[in-house]
Chain A
Amino acid sequence: ETGVTQSPTHLIKTRGQQVTLRCSSQSGHNTVSWYQQALGQGPQFIFQYYREEENGRGNFPPRFSGLQFPNYSSELNVNALELDDSALYLCAARDFSSSYEQYFGPGTRLTVT
């Protein structure tokens, strides 16, 4: 077990709606990264939070935003959903100071219709 959980497991939304995905990790995982994985592709880096501040971002528009909380949980928010946002969304947690290894959650599969 990675100690990283995500909710919900699956989600169906309509184009133009907003969605919030959640991730929870164990104590000590002070860094969380979010990835988008479209079908047949590798995960694409969205952004990263360290101690509740965003400190890295991939090539995603501002309608993708996030939060990290003191209890090691995190949120990914996507506004104005588009059909191309349909993907598996993965969060990965890590103790930045001690290990390279990231622990992935099981992902949330988002379908936008």
Chain B
Amino acid sequence: RKEVEQDPGPFNVPEGATVAFNCTYSNSASQSFFWYRQDCRKEPKLLMSVYSSGNEDGRFTAQLNRASQYISLLIRDSKLSDSATYLCVVYWEGAGSYQLTFGKGTKLSVIP
């Protein structure tokens, strides 16, 4: 089982649609969780952190279920500029070091 698994995608949605991405992780000792966005041939950039209580940033809502080891990202009212690959990322820290483990990414294309 891969450490971080995401929906395979790609997701092709019309402008204005709502789209949801799911992610599961295998390391129950993981401490923090993030969604990164990566545009084509660019570096990943932090989109938002994910908290157990759920958190929202404008049109983006992230949720975490530690018991199920499941993370989600919801994008409402999709814009053309949301087209990118979305990476689910799990953070572990211990013994003076840390590691980010990335999922494979889910590609989103928002169509006019």
Using a CB–CB distance below 8 Å, which chain A residues touch chain B? 2, 31, 33, 35, 40-45, 48, 50, 55-56, 58, 88, 90, 92, 96, 100-102, 104-107, 109
Of residues A35, A42, A48, A56, which shows the largest number of chain B Cβ atoms within 10 Å of its Cβ? A42
Identify whether the interface residues of B are mostly helix, strand, loop, or mixed. Answer: strand
CA distance A44 to B100 in the complex (A): 9
Interface size on B, residues (CB 8 A): 22
Residue pair B100, A45 in contact (C-beta under 8 Å): yes
Q: State how many angstroms separate the Cβ of B46 from the closest Cβ of chain A.
A: 6
CA distance A40 to B105 in the complex (A): 8
Residue pair B102, A50 in contact (C-beta under 8 Å): no
Residue pair B99, A48 in contact (C-beta under 8 Å): yes
Q: Of A55, A58, A107, which one neighbours B43 at CB under 8 angstroms? A: A107
The stretch from B51-59, B60-68, B90-98 touching chain A is B90-98
Q: State how many angstroms separate the Cβ of A90 from the closest Cβ of chain B.
A: 6
Tell me which residues across on chain A come within 8 A of B76, comparing CB atoms: none
Given the known interface contacts A100-B32, A100-B49, A100-B91, the answer about A43 and B44 at a Cβ–Cβ threshold of 8 Å is yes
Tell me which residues across on chain A come within 8 A of B91, comparing CB atoms: 100
Given the known interface contacts A43-B102, A48-B99, the answer about A106 and B43 at a Cβ–Cβ threshold of 8 Å is yes
Given the known interface contacts A100-B49, A100-B91, A105-B43, the answer about A48 and B102 at a Cβ–Cβ threshold of 8 Å is no
Q: Which residues 64-112 of B sit at the A interface, judged by CB distance below 8 A? A: 87, 91, 96-105
Residue pair A42, B98 in contact (C-beta under 8 Å): no
CA distance A96 to B99 in the complex (A): 11
Residue pair A56, B43 in contact (C-beta under 8 Å): no
